[in-house]
Amino acid sequence: MGAQTKPSDPVVVTFEQISKAIGSDEAMGNLGEASGRDATIDPVQKATIMAGVGNVLRMLQDAERTAGAKVLTAPHDARAARLQSLVASGEAANLRYAALPSGGLEAMFDTNDWSGWATVVWEKLKHLIPHPMVRPKTDVAASLPDKCRIAVLGDWGTGLYGAPKIGAAVRQDRDPFDLLLHLGDVYYSGTSSEVDQRFLEIWPTRRGAINRALNSNHEMYSGGDAYFGRTLPAFGQEGSYFAYQNSQWTLIGLDVAYKDHAIDDEQVRWLTEVVRKAGDRKIVLFSHHQLYSNLEKEQGAKLWSHPGFGELLLSKRIFAWYWGHEHRCTVYEAPDTNFGIWARCIGHSGMPQSRDLTIGLSRATGPAYERADWRFCPAVTVEGNPLPRAVVLEGRNEFIIGEEDKFTPHGYAVLNIDGVHLEEEVRSATGEVIYSKRLV
């Protein structure tokens, strides 16, 4: 009973096991009992929790169906993520592990105390009080050398598939790095044990390099306790947003996850001041969530709708923006019309991403795209913002064993700043450059 011996590999929670843990007759009945015993919340709140459980099951089933394989899947839902974390942890249950050919250990759930289990589950389903936001103490950007090199990993916190390969590639890179940046997401919900096993213990530290981690929806699903309480101290990071600059560039990491896919007023005031102090420097933003997407429905409307932040965006003061959240690598071929931003999605560093929306796209042509299977995404207008044509990384993922053909490749980005120049590289999971472009 209770927590198990720590498994040797990261744990994958499949729909089959979640269904057994919260969708079985025993689980349902005892959850109902736990609900009935809870006198702290009213019937509407109970109804939302119970309806939410059904939705969790539905979303997890859909996610696995979309994936078409027993791999790590992570719907954008706090309760689903917390339940996945709970099952993976072995808390209040008997857990066995079965090796999955595609990577990781499948958590095989069982319990002989459904009542106790349901009580724990019920508490996980109730609203969490998030960790207080931890902000930087200054709006003065920290220094970076005029010539510097930055590794950008997005949605890397699986501990599985291409993620360890990317870690090794960054660690073994012959050239030094000045900044190693994670765009966020430690699965399933960024609990302490998950942050330890899937992130901190395997993060590719390099001598002389600063480590920085952005907040994300999955880390906030557990309330952000481990992100704020473990990751930030481990990285010596003052707050969940930050700024660095040299003589030509100002690089700003934003926290657009504490308020899900949105930004708070105080952070916008800080950002406005950092941008003011940047003078003529070019501004590059980094965040977990995207400003927009040319493939997915989820857009950053709450970001561009913020009065202050929206005004900054419309001023076209932002030169480039690197984000994750969507588990693809997407490179827009020009700045978008409304905001004038060179936008890039680097969210392909560890999560399995189905090829369903990209496999049918036409192969990108031209010398820049010869080193990998890049596909053209046609120009599209998103909520009144004409987006230019983009290329998206396609092909098979050689690190999801036995399921290679179902998922797009993993990789990361490297930014080389040299005076006024910014050259970006997209690298494969093993470090080969598969795309590069000097933006200026």
- Residues in contact with another protein by CB under 8 A are 23, 25-26, 28-30, 32-33, 35-36, 43-55, 57-58, 61, 77-79, 113-116, 125, 127
Beta strands 179-182; 421-428: pairing state: unpaired
Decide whether 49 or 329 has the Cβ nearer to another protein.
49
Angle at 12 between CA 8 and CA 17, to 5 degrees: 120
Question: SS3 of 171, please?
Answer: helix
Q: In angstroms, give the least distance from the CB of 1 to another protein.
A: 14
Question: SS3 of 340, please?
Answer: coil
Decide whether 81 or 152 has the Cβ nearer to another protein.
81
Decide whether 52 or 130 has the Cβ nearer to another protein.
52
Q: In angstroms, give the least distance from the CB of 77 to another protein.
A: 8
7-11's contacts with Cβ under 8 Å and 24+ in sequence apart are 7/97, 7/105, 8/105, 9/99, 9/103, 9/104, 9/105, 9/159, 9/160, 10/72, 10/104, 10/105, 10/158, 10/159, 10/160, 10/197, 10/198, 11/88, 11/97, 11/104, 11/105, 11/106, 11/107
CA distances from 384 to 23, 329, 338 (A): 42, 23, 8
Region of residue 275 (phi > 0: left; psi between -120 and 50: alpha; otherwise: beta) = alpha
Q: Are 404 and 386 in contact (CB under 8 A)?
A: no
Burial class (CB in 10 A: 0-12, 13-18, 19+), 149: buried
Decide whether 298 or 418 has the Cβ nearer to another protein.
298
CA distances from 45 to 29, 48, 124, 266 (A): 18, 5, 14, 31
Decide whether 127 or 147 has the Cβ nearer to another protein.
127
Q: In angstroms, give the least distance from the CB of 128 to another protein.
A: 11
Decide whether 56 or 271 has the Cβ nearer to another protein.
56
Q: In angstroms, give the least distance from the CB of 305 to another protein.
A: 19
User: Would you state the structure tokens that stand for residue 180, as one six-digit string?
Assistant: 């190693």
Segment holding 235, helix H or strand E: helix 232-235
Cross-strand bridge partners of residue 377: 390
The sign one gets for the Cα dihedral 100, 156, 17, 297 is negative
User: Would you state the structure tokens that stand for residue 259, as one six-digit string?
Assistant: 């308020």
Decide whether 22 or 169 has the Cβ nearer to another protein.
22
Decide whether 27 or 331 has the Cβ nearer to another protein.
27
Decide whether 22 or 275 has the Cβ nearer to another protein.
22
Euclidean distance between CA atoms 41 and 127, whole angstroms = 11
Euclidean distance between CA atoms 130 and 244, whole angstroms = 27
Q: In angstroms, give the least distance from the CB of 65 to another protein.
A: 10
Q: In angstroms, give the least distance from the CB of 44 to another protein.
A: 5
Cross-strand bridge partners of residue 416: 149, 423
Q: In angstroms, give the least distance from the CB of 324 to another protein.
A: 23
Q: In angstroms, give the least distance from the CB of 174 to another protein.
A: 48
Decide whether 75 or 239 has the Cβ nearer to another protein.
75
Q: In angstroms, give the least distance from the CB of 30 to another protein.
A: 6
Cα-atom radius of gyration of the chain, to the nearest Å? 22
Q: In angstroms, give the least distance from the CB of 11 to another protein.
A: 24
